[in-house]
Amino acid sequence: MRSTEQNAWMSASYLLIDLWRVHGEDNWDECTPPYLDSIHSLLEDELTAANIVLKSSNPSNDTLHLHRRIIAFYHQEIELRSQGQDAWNSAIEDDALVMYGRGVNKTTFKRLYGF
């Protein structure tokens, strides 16, 4: 995992830990809404950064790949946590998370985010 990807993962993890401290680790219903609000903001920031790269005269494929993975991570967090704790836990058990090395479906990603 590249350091930028790792930083995105760590930021989200620290955010979740802070929410657990406030609401209690087992209180999924209280922690999830503020966590998802923050993840939505991070997703928007990452999309803005990716669009700046896309508008450059010669966007680097490596840079776009990195943005794609981070955006996919945020998207996956939003989707899975919105479905509830069981869905998120199942994804962890199945090693199905992007941040655990799972690939990004480029066709779906392009349909959703345009690149």
pLDDT by residue (tens digit) across 101-113? 899 999 999 999 9
What's the pLDDT tens digit per position in 51-99? Answer: 999 999 999 999 999 999 999 999 999 999 999 999 989 999 999 999 8
DSSP assignment letter at 102: P
Q: How confident is the model at residue 37 (pLDDT cuts 50, 70, 90)?
A: very high
pTM comes to: 0.88
> How many CB atoms neighbour CB 8 within 10 A?
22
pLDDT at 52: 96
Ramachandran area for residue 24 (φ above 0: left; ψ -120 to 50: alpha; else beta): left
Cα-flanking dihedrals φ and ψ of residue 64, to 5°? Answer: -65, -40
Residue with tokens 């776009």: 64
Domain that holds residue 54: 3-113
Domain count for the chain: 1
